[in-house]
Amino acid sequence: MKPANNARYAAPMVLLHWLMAILIVTAFAVGLKIWSLPLSPLRLKLILGHKSAGIAVLLLLALRVIVRLASHVPPLPAHMSPIEQRLAHLGHLALYVLMLAVPLSGWAMSSAYGIPVVFLGVLHLPEWIASDPTLAEQLRWLHRGLNLLLALTIVGHAFFALKHHFFDHDGMLNRMRLGGSRSMEK
């Protein structure tokens, strides 16, 4: 058993982590459903919800970056080698970049298709790319590709978090636990 690391993220970071995880998984699942549906009222309804969930990810990401810069970030467990720590930081950076790039590519695609993005049915967001069907099709593929990368990175992230929890017993998951802390040391 490795020494336990009970240092934790600040409560707002923990909340944002799990809220964004739920939104991203939901947006991803709804995106896959949209892909499988023919043009229909249900498809249009799902696209509206999907866009709002994606824009919410973008807004929460901005908040998360501010909270992260302003709050204490617990150090990684001391038993991790410098290379492992570097890879963990790179993985986190990739997650931040993809959480920005995926919603932005979706928004850009909608703009290029000339379809408005109305957040939660009330806030009309600017169309920041001129209507261009060829570009829209390319952005659609970009959105798909970035989603694939995001999904792979999230799977890797979850895999290593669970490995730390169940194999290294180093209390890594406690850093992102909602509620009171619980030591992994027996």
> Does residue number 5 form part of the binding site for ligand HEM (CB under 6 A)?
no
Answer for which of 19, 34, 88, 176 binds ligand HEM (CB under 6 A) is: 34
Q: Point out which span in 48-56, 64-72, 74-82, 156-164 binds ligand HEM (CB under 6 A).
A: 48-56
> Does residue number 60 form part of the binding site for ligand HEM (CB under 6 A)?
no
Is residue 98 a contact partner of residue 146, using CB atoms and an 8 Å limit?
yes
Q: Compare residues 141 and 167 and give the one whose CB is closer to ligand HEM.
A: 141
Phi, psi of 183 (to 5 degrees): -75, 145
> Does residue number 64 form part of the binding site for ligand HEM (CB under 6 A)?
no
Q: Compare residues 74 and 156 and give the one whose CB is closer to ligand HEM.
A: 156
Map the footprint of ligand HEM across residues 132-161, applying CB under 6 A: 140, 143-144, 147
**Tokens at 159, concatenated:** 């895999």
> Does residue number 107 form part of the binding site for ligand HEM (CB under 6 A)?
yes
Cα-to-chain-centroid distance, residue 119: 18
**Nearest distance, CB of residue 136 and ligand HEM, angstroms:** 9
Polymer length of the chain: 186
Which residues sit at the interface with ligand HEM, rule CB under 6 A?
A: 24, 27-28, 31-32, 34-35, 47, 50-51, 54-55, 57, 102-103, 106-107, 109-110, 117, 140, 143-144, 147
